[in-house]
Amino acid sequence: PKRFIVTILAFFGLFNAACMKVCVSVAIVAMVDHTEVQFSNGTNSTAECPVLVDQVKTEQKAYEGKRYDWDSIQQGFILSAFFYGYFCAMLPGGYMADRLGPVKVFGCCIFSTSLFTLLSPFVVQWGSVPFILLRFLAGFGEGATYPSVLAIISRWSPKLERSRITSIILTGGSIGMVFSFSVAGLLSASSFLGGWPSVFYVFGTIGCAWYFLWVIFIYESPNVHPTITEEEIEKFKDVSSAKDKGKQNVPWKSILTSLPVWALMFACIGNNFGYIMLMTQIPTYLNSILHFNIKASGALSALPYVSQTVGAWIASFVADKLRSTGKLRITLIRKVFSSIAGYGSAICILTIAFSGCHSYLIVFLLTFGNFLNGSKFSGFVAASVDMTPNFVGIIYGLTSGTGNIAGIIGPTMFGAIIANGATIANWSKVFMTISGIYFFTTTVFAVFGSAELQHWNKTEPVSPKEEKS
């Protein structure tokens, strides 16, 4: 079936996007001379959990490739630069996806970021500022991926398969992180293509190869696919086809004054803050506080995303089963799974803040917390498709774009905190902040969120006069 081909290639599209998004988080351990020393107050992170140095048998080795003397503040800007660009592109990217077609926009996003990733080893030699600018451009190129892919899901997922298709496609990002964390650690510690530069060469090349498959096999909607069967077309009879009728007027006033849209925005802010902070900082935490070497840090950083994928797939089957019974309203189903994701993650992260040097407990909590967090794909993420399939690209661009402010604030905030000492106490402040934001934003969605089809989802064609203007 053609919808399965779309699902598989969209999955690998997000897989590539995630690889290129987080590869710097692991590679930076090998790129920097002093990730463990030279903080502004003179503290040394190796003083934390000293017993683990012998227990884990961390191997200190000289990594291949040029090393850079970046302090924690500079590292924070390098890690957050991607999300500055990501934030700037999400809303216009969602709008472009709805206007030009999400399949075209999604493909161009991955391809452009692949090219910027391939250029990284060359540009970083010019200094930290050009590298920060390049990461900004990579983030800008990737900014429309999620608005685009949700618009693709709205066209290619029958209602009773929506939770499963949504979860399968979106967990491509989680699996991509698993692959990126694990492989980036191995590549950074190897001599292949000069050590850490191979991280950028490998992931950039994979992204370019994916783009050509996407262009060949994927079409904008079932109605325009030249070889789809009538039997499969019949499955989409309950899916809105307004997008196949040309450009539509966007009800901006209704969108911006919609309480469910604002609730969704809060859910995205909370999720993105926790997700991005953990994604960008956990490899450094495992290396500098718990003293795992770069290979172990990469592999252990990947574990939470394996569990998130498993949790997401389990939750999606349960959610679709509950929906098919017709006994529960779709809003209740989405709120329950959002609450499991948000409150579950908050409790696990809060527990980490008080876990000291218990390394295996901390790894378990990160893993189990992300297992629960996988329920979000059947929660508020799927709710954005339910409530407005015609404008899901714009809605998700608006809400997730706002949520990605967290990607700007988070790593920069982290750098400022750790500049005062890479201590367990300071890391606990980070974890407690993430937990508190999860609690608050999950509650907002639980109270004010909705997955019911919104009245303003009805579309009106753009008049010829408006289109020319």
| Residue 406 confidence (pLDDT) | 67
Please determine, for residue 253, whether its predicted confidence score (pLDDT) is greater than 50: yes
Determine the residue type at 71. Answer: D
Kindly state whether residues 407 and 285 are assigned to the same domain. Answer: yes
Kindly state whether residues 312 and 438 are assigned to the same domain. Answer: yes
- Segment 440-462 shows an average pLDDT of 82
| Residue 45 confidence (pLDDT) | 44
Q: At what angle do helices 294-325 and 162-188 cross, to 10 degrees?
A: 180
- For the chain, the residue count is 469
Say whether 216 sits in a helix, a strand or coil: helix
Low-confidence winner among 8-22, 182-196, 312-326, 424-438 (lowest mean pLDDT): 182-196
Q: In 3D, which of 73, 63, 30 has the Cα closest to residue 297?
A: 30
Contact 387, 260 (CB under 8 A): yes
Determine the residue type at 386. Answer: D
Q: Residue 239 — very low, low, confident or very high, per pLDDT cuts 50/70/90?
A: low
| Residue 113 confidence (pLDDT) | 93
- Segment 282-311 shows an average pLDDT of 73
pTM score > 0.75 for this model? no
* Structural element, H or E, at residue 33: none
Please determine, for residue 324, whether its predicted confidence score (pLDDT) is greater than 50: yes
Please indicate, yes or no, if residue 333 is contained in any of the structural domains. Answer: yes
Per DSSP, the residues of 128-162 read HHHHHHHHHHHHHHHTTHHHHHHHHHHHH--GGGH
Q: Residue 347 — very low, low, confident or very high, per pLDDT cuts 50/70/90?
A: very high
Rg of the chain, C-alpha, whole Å: 22
Per DSSP, the residues of 334-349 read HHHHHHHHHHHHHHHH
Higher pLDDT, 190 or 261: 261
Please determine, for residue 52, whether its predicted confidence score (pLDDT) is greater than 90: no
Kindly state whether residues 396 and 257 are assigned to the same domain. Answer: yes
Each residue of 17-35: pLDDT tens digit?
988 987 887 788 778 765 4
Each residue of 108-163: pLDDT tens digit?
999 999 999 999 999 988 988 899 999 999 989 888 888 888 888 888 888 778 77
306: Cβ–Cβ under 8 A, 6 or more apart, which residues?
174, 175, 178, 367
Contact 273, 410 (CB under 8 A): yes
Q: Highest mean pLDDT range out of 254-258, 278-282, 418-422?
A: 254-258
Q: Residue 469 — very low, low, confident or very high, per pLDDT cuts 50/70/90?
A: very low
Determine the residue type at 228. Answer: I
Low-confidence winner among 298-302, 313-317, 374-378 (lowest mean pLDDT): 298-302
Please determine, for residue 37, whether its predicted confidence score (pLDDT) is greater than 60: no
| Residue 447 confidence (pLDDT) | 94
| Residue 116 confidence (pLDDT) | 93
| Residue 47 confidence (pLDDT) | 53
Tell me which residue range forms the domain holding 258: 252-458
Region of 24 please: left (phi>0), alpha (psi -120 to 50) or beta. alpha
Kindly state whether residues 171 and 305 are assigned to the same domain. Answer: no
Q: In 3D, which of 22, 30, 70, 106 has the Cα closest to residue 276?
A: 22
Please determine, for residue 243, whether its predicted confidence score (pLDDT) is greater than 60: no
What is the Cα–Cα distance from 63 to 181, expressed in whole angstroms? Answer: 17
Determine the residue type at 189. Answer: A
Kindly state whether residues 97 and 78 are assigned to the same domain. Answer: yes
| Residue 133 confidence (pLDDT) | 93
What is the Cα–Cα distance from 377 to 368, expressed in whole angstroms? Answer: 16
Please determine, for residue 14, whether its predicted confidence score (pLDDT) is greater than 90: yes
Q: How many CA atoms lie within 13 A of 73 on its CB side?
A: 6
How many domains does the chain fold into?
2
What is the Cα–Cα distance from 364 to 342, expressed in whole angstroms? Answer: 17
Please determine, for residue 304, whether its predicted confidence score (pLDDT) is greater than 70: yes
Q: Highest mean pLDDT range out of 11-15, 53-57, 398-402?
A: 11-15
Q: Residue 295 — very low, low, confident or very high, per pLDDT cuts 50/70/90?
A: low
- The structure tokens listed for 150 are 């949700």
Please indicate, yes or no, if residue 158 is contained in any of the structural domains. Answer: yes
The rounded mean pLDDT for the chain is 80
Cβ-based neighbour number of residue 393 at 10 Å: 31
Q: Work out the burial of residue 228: count CB atoms within 10 Å of its CB; fewer than 13 is exposed, 13-18 middle, 19 or more buried.
A: middle
Cβ-based neighbour number of residue 329 at 10 Å: 13
What is the Cα–Cα distance from 292 to 283, expressed in whole angstroms? Answer: 9
What is the Cα–Cα distance from 376 to 316, expressed in whole angstroms? Answer: 10
Kindly state whether residues 237 and 259 are assigned to the same domain. Answer: no
Q: Which of 195, 211, 241 is the last residue of a domain?
A: 241
Higher pLDDT, 397 or 467: 397
| Residue 56 confidence (pLDDT) | 47
Please indicate, yes or no, if residue 423 is contained in any of the structural domains. Answer: yes
Please indicate, yes or no, if residue 262 is contained in any of the structural domains. Answer: yes
How does DSSP classify residue 126? G
Q: Which of 241, 275, 291 is the last residue of a domain?
A: 241
Please determine, for residue 464, whether its predicted confidence score (pLDDT) is greater than 70: no
Kindly state whether residues 26 and 109 are assigned to the same domain. Answer: yes
Contact 182, 302 (CB under 8 A): yes
Kindly state whether residues 1 and 146 are assigned to the same domain. Answer: yes
CATH number at residue 349: 1.20.1250.20
CA–CA–CA angle 374, 90, 335 (5° rounding) = 35
In the block, which residue shows the tokens 């039997």?
231
Higher pLDDT, 464 or 345: 345
Please indicate, yes or no, if residue 267 is contained in any of the structural domains. Answer: yes
Please indicate, yes or no, if residue 284 is contained in any of the structural domains. Answer: yes
Low-confidence winner among 58-72, 146-160, 315-329, 350-364 (lowest mean pLDDT): 58-72
Higher pLDDT, 61 or 84: 84
Kindly state whether residues 233 and 264 are assigned to the same domain. Answer: no
Higher pLDDT, 70 or 440: 440
Q: Residue 240 — very low, low, confident or very high, per pLDDT cuts 50/70/90?
A: low
| Residue 115 confidence (pLDDT) | 93
Q: Residue 15 — very low, low, confident or very high, per pLDDT cuts 50/70/90?
A: very high
Please determine, for residue 316, whether its predicted confidence score (pLDDT) is greater than 60: yes
- The structure tokens listed for 398 are 């608006």
| Residue 411 confidence (pLDDT) | 66
For the chain, give the percent of residues with pLDDT over 90: 23
Kindly state whether residues 323 and 227 are assigned to the same domain. Answer: no
Kindly state whether residues 204 and 265 are assigned to the same domain. Answer: no
In the block, which residue shows the tokens 């390049």?
134
